[in-house]
Amino acid sequence: MTKIDRLSAEALARLPDIREEWFNIALSTQPADRHRAEQGVALAYSAIGRPPPRTIYWVDSPLQGVLMLEELRKKHFFSSREKAIKCRIEQAVLDHFYPRISEGYSHRIRDLISGQVRESLKNSLSFSMGSLLSRAIKEKAGKPLAHAFGMPQDAHWLGYYDAFPKLALPEGDPLGGLAEIANSCGWCWFFFDMAILTERPETLSLDSNYRLHSSDGPAITYPDGFSLYAWHGYPIDKNIFDNKKKLTPQQILDEKNTELRRIKMEIFLEYNDADTIIGVFKAKIIDSAPCLGLERQLLKIGKDRYLYCTNGSVEPDGKRRKFLLGVPSESLWDWSTMRKMKPITSAHNASAWTYGIDPKKYQEQVRT
């Protein structure tokens, strides 16, 4: 059997649309379509040869879902086979696709689709949103968001497998029930005779890197009032948010948690100019490397490092704005990639990092 090693220009042009479609599904704040969701559950159970659950519970948030599950566990023992319903439903999709994709498409094509759809969605949504939501629920309920299916956590692999029938693998609708569920509600738990389904969030706010973020209120809220405050992908306590304008330099320097200290500094930067902060915190210069005639320095403030730079564009008042941008220090943790970053030792490398470019390839040649 000859494997497909090339996609048409039309098929290639559809990849960003497929990714965008699943991105919008994952971030939907529309009320759940309960009838459609329950039909999707029936389809998903049918795919593994089981009748639909006799009872479907609807709750207003994933937090309520976790709490309800704990209450049900007090009355009902869930066997390991029963807990595996979700895995069996997902495995049915994999069993349909894997041999067809492996036998029909070259590694190059599979990697291409994976990179543009699966990995892109995973990096944007699963790490930055799903992990934070699970962490917040564990803090409130004492239990994590475990053994659940839902958006945005599962968008990356559903989008990947959804791409093949839309591009060149015309074989029915193997995503079936899972696609219906993803398009119509939030998180779900599946068992033999029952299922728990949740509403979607009412509001959702992200930064330019698709991380949960809001400077005006909760970054995500649900119909029951459950909410999560976040600053560029890092969860913060409501008290910090409510008192953000009252933050003092000493409170920031005294913060022992590295990530939280960096967050507090970024919040402080929202209300104070860079030159004032440099003086107040007695910043130390690690490296200085002007860029196209504009000032650029790598500074150390307390235990952390910041890039001090001047905007290349002129403001309406004729002045150039100066910035302080946090860059990785020895103990900085990146929640979006779940990895520890290496320390930055030069202003050039710090600039490259802020753009997400390899320092060896980064070189500014002109300002417009």
| Percent of the chain clearing pLDDT 90 (strictly above) | 26
**Mean pLDDT score, 196-206:** 95
What are the tens digits of pLDDT across the range 85-131? 888 888 888 888 888 787 777 888 888 888 889 988 887 776 667 77
Residue 341, pLDDT score? 65
What are the tens digits of pLDDT across the range 135-193? 888 888 888 888 889 888 899 999 988 888 777 655 545 677 899 999 999 999 999 88
Tokens of 163: 């791409």
- The dihedrals phi and psi of 338, each to the nearest 5 degrees, come to 60, 40
50 or 362, which is more confident: 50
Residue 198, pLDDT score? 97
By the 8 A CB rule, do 204 and 220 touch?
yes
Residue 231, pLDDT score? 87
Is residue 368 pLDDT above 60, yes or no? no
Is residue 44 pLDDT above 90, yes or no? yes
**Mean pLDDT score, 229-249:** 87
Q: Band of the pLDDT at 222, cuts 50, 70, 90?
A: very high
Residue 337, pLDDT score? 59
322 or 91, which is more confident: 91
Beta bridge mates, 198 = 59
Mean pLDDT of the chain: 84
If we measure between CA atoms, which residue out of 180, 186, 266 comes closest to residue 226? Answer: 186
CA–CA dist 302, 297 (Å, integer): 16
Please enumerate in sequence order all residues whose Cβ is within 8 A of that of 246, keeping only pairs 6 or more positions apart, or say none: none
What are the tens digits of pLDDT across the range 246-289? 888 899 889 988 888 888 888 888 788 778 888 888 888 899 88
Q: Amino acid letter at 80? A: S
Is residue 41 pLDDT above 90, yes or no? yes
